[in-house]
C-alpha cells in the first residue's frame, strides 16, 4: 500500500488512478497513503465548473483544456456524474467531449459517479484533487452538476468557480436564488446561438448588482461571459480562450489581495472536518449498523420510549473518554 503512494509521487499514472479508485471506494487505510501526499500538495489552481445537466460544461471543459495546453500547462479533470438511484450503476459520459486529449500525456481525465447522497463524495473529490496535484497537474478542472448541497460542497474545493447558464432552460433565476450566486466567481452564458441569450445576460447582471458579494465581499467584480456557440468552432474557441484568461485573472486577483489564503483555509477546514467524520463518526455508525443497534434505536424513538439526545449522549459516553477536568484519566464517577 505505502508503495502506491511512492509510485504516485514518482508520477506513475497507473498508481494515481488506482489511488483515486481506493479513495472513492473508501478502502481502509488509504489515509496512510494520503498523509504523505497531502504534505506535497498546494501547487495546482483548482477550477470548479457547475451548472444544470446539458448546459455544456463538458464541451466547455474540453475547450478549456485546449486553451491551457496552448500555454503548455498540464491539466487534470475530475468529472462527476450522477449514479442511478435504482441500480447504483452509472453512465459516465463527460469524456466523450474530451476525447481529442486522450493521448496527451499532460492531460489526466477522471470520471467519478456520485454514488447517491451517502456522503463521502466531496471527500473523495477533494482527495483526488490532491492526487492530481502531486502528479503535477498545474490546472485541475472539477465538473459537477449544480443541484444539491453535495455539489456545492464539491465546488468548495475550487479556487475559482464557474457557473454555466443556458438561455431558455427556465431555471436560471431559480438557480441564482438557490445559492449559486454565493459561489460563482465567473458566470458563463453558454449556447449563445439560442434565443434569449441577451435577455439572460441582463438578468444575471442585475442579480449580480443586487448581490451582497459585489459590494463588500471580496471585492471581485463577478464577470458574466458570453461563450459563442460550439457550432462556430473558431468563435467558440476564441471565447473560451477569453474565459481561460478571466480564470487566470481571478486567480491572480486572489493571490494579489491575499484572498487565496482565506479560500484555502476554508477548503482545508472542510478537509479536516471530512477526515474527522471519516475517522470518528463513520466507524461509530458502522459499528451501530453492523449490530443492528442503529435500527433498534430508531424503533425505540418511534415508540417514544426514549429521545435521540439521551441516546446520543449514551453513545458518546461509550466512545469518548474525557474527564470533566480534561486530564484524560478515568474520572467518570467524579
Partner 1 sequence: MSRKLRVLIAKPGLDGHDRGAKVLARAFRDEGYEVIYTGCHQTPEMIAAVAIQEDVDLVGLSCLSGAHNYLFPQVTRLLKEEGADDIVVMGGGIIPEQDHAALHEAGIAAIFGPGTPLDAITGWINDNVKPRD
Ligand X SMILES: Nc1nc2c(ncn2[C@@H]2O[C@H](COP(=O)(O)OP(=O)(O)O)[C@@H](O)[C@H]2O)c(=O)[nH]1
Residues that contact partner 1, how many (by CB under 8 A)? 31
CA dist 297 and 263 (Å) reads: 40
CA dist 111 and 25 (Å) reads: 14
Task: Choose the binding region for Mg ion from 11-19, 49-57, 174-182, 255-263 (rule: CB under 5 A).
Answer: 49-57
CA dist 224 and 70 (Å) reads: 24
Class of residue 18 by CB neighbours under 10 A (exposed 0-12, middle 13-18, buried 19+): middle
- Is residue 110 a contact point for partner 1 (CB under 8 A)? yes
- Is residue 146 a contact point for ligand X (CB under 6 A)? no
CB of 5 to Mg ion, least distance (A): 30
Question: Of the candidates 53, 93, 233, 317, which one interacts with partner 1 according to CB under 8 A?
Answer: 93
CA dist 164 and 175 (Å) reads: 10
- Is residue 58 a contact point for Mg ion (CB under 5 A)? yes
Q: Which stretch of DSSP H or E encloses residue 225?
A: strand 224-226
Q: How far is CA 64 from the centre of its chain?
A: 18
Question: Of the candidates 4, 7, 17, 246, which one interacts with partner 1 according to CB under 8 A?
Answer: 17
Q: What is the DSSP string of 241-282?
A: HHHHHHHHHHHHHHHHTT-HHHHHHHHHHHHHHHHHIIIIIH
CB of 80 to partner 1, least distance (A): 12
Nearest-5° angle of CA 22, CA 98, CA 30? 10
CB of 107 to ligand X, least distance (A): 17
Residues that contact ligand X, how many (by CB under 6 A)? 16
Site for ligand X in 214-233 (CB under 6 A): 229-231
- Is residue 193 a contact point for ligand X (CB under 6 A)? yes
Nearest CB to ligand X, comparing residues 93 and 136: 93
CB of 129 to Mg ion, least distance (A): 18
- Is residue 122 a contact point for Mg ion (CB under 5 A)? no
Nearest CB to partner 1, comparing residues 113 and 242: 113
Nearest CB to partner 1, comparing residues 28 and 292: 28
Look at the alpha carbons of 327, 328, 330, 334 in this order and tell me if their dihedral is positive or negative.
Answer: positive
Site for ligand X in 77-96 (CB under 6 A): 94
Q: Which of 86, 132, 85, 78 is nearest to 109 (CA)?
A: 78
- Is residue 241 a contact point for ligand X (CB under 6 A)? no
Nearest CB to ligand X, comparing residues 13 and 99: 99
Site for partner 1 in 170-189 (CB under 8 A): none
Question: Of the candidates 34, 37, 75, 97, which one interacts with ligand X according to CB under 6 A?
Answer: 97
- Is residue 327 a contact point for partner 1 (CB under 8 A)? no
Q: Give 64-68's long-range contacts (Cβ < 8 A, gap of 24+).
A: 64/141, 64/240, 64/243, 64/244, 64/247, 65/98, 65/101, 65/107, 65/141, 66/100, 66/101, 66/237, 66/240, 67/237, 67/240, 67/241, 67/243, 67/244, 68/138, 68/139, 68/244
- Is residue 85 a contact point for partner 1 (CB under 8 A)? no
Q: What is the DSSP string of 14-32?
A: HHHHHHHHHHHHT-TTHHH
Given the rule CB under 6 A, which residues bind ligand X?
A: 51, 53-59, 94, 97, 190-191, 193, 229-231
Given the rule CB under 8 A, which residues bind partner 1?
A: 13-14, 17-18, 20-21, 25-27, 83-84, 86-93, 95-96, 99, 102-103, 108-111, 113, 115, 120
Given the rule CB under 5 A, which residues bind Mg ion?
A: 57-58, 94
Amino acid at each position: 500500500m505505502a508503495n502506491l503512494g511512492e509510485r504516485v509521487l514518482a508520477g506513475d499514472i497507473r498508481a494515481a488512478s488506482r489511488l483515486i479508485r481506493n479513495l472513492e471506494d473508501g478502502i481502509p487505510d488509504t489515509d496512510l497513503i494520503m498523509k504523505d501526499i497531502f504534505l506535497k500538495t498546494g501547487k495546482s489552481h483548482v477550477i470548479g465548473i457547475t451548472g444544470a445537466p446539458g448546459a455544456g460544461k463538458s464541451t466547455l471543459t474540453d475547450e478549456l483544456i485546449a486553451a491551457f495546453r496552448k500555454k503548455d500547462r498540464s491539466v487534470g479533470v475530475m468529472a462527476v456524474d450522477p449514479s442511478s438511484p435504482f441500480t447504483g450503476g452509472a453512465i459516465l459520459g463527460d469524456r466523450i467531449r474530451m476525447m481529442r486529449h486522450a493521448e496527451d500525456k499532460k492531460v489526466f481525465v477522471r470520471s467519478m459517479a456520485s454514488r447517491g447522497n451517502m456522503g463521502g463524495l466531496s471527500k473523495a473529490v477533494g482527495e483526488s484533487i490532491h492526487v492530481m496535484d502531486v502528479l503535477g497537474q498545474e490546472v485541475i478542472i472539477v465538473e459537477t452538476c449544480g443541484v444539491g448541497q453535495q455539489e456545492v460542497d464539491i465546488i468548495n474545493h475550487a479556487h475559482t468557480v464557474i457557473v454555466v447558464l443556458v438561455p431558455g432552460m427556465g431555471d436560471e433565476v431559480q438557480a441564482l436564488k438557490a445559492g449559486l450566486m454565493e459561489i460563482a466567481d465567473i458566470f458563463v452564458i453558454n449556447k449563445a446561438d439560442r434565443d434569449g441569450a441577451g435577455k439572460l445576460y441582463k438578468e444575471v447582471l442585475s442579480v449580480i448588482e443586487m448581490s451582497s458579494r459585489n459590494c463588500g465581499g471580496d471585492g471581485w467584480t463577478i464577470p458574466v461571459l458570453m461563450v459563442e456557440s460550439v457550432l462556430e468552432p473558431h468563435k467558440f474557441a476564441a471565447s473560451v480562450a477569453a474565459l481561460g484568461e478571466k480564470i487566470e485573472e481571478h486567480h491572480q486577483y486572489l493571490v494579489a489581495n491575499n484572498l487565496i489564503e482565506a479560500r484555502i483555509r476554508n477548503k482545508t477546514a472542510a478537509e479536516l472536518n471530512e477526515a474527522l467524520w471519516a475517522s470518528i463518526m463513520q466507524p461509530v455508525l458502522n459499528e451501530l449498523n453492523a449490530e443492528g443497534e442503529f435500527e433498534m434505536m430508531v424503533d425505540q424513538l418511534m415508540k417514544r420510549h426514549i429521545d435521540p439526545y439521551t441516546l446520543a449522549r449514551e453513545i458518546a459516553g461509550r466512545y469518548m473518554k474525557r474527564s470533566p477536568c480534561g486530564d484524560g484519566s478515568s474520572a467518570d464517577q467524579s
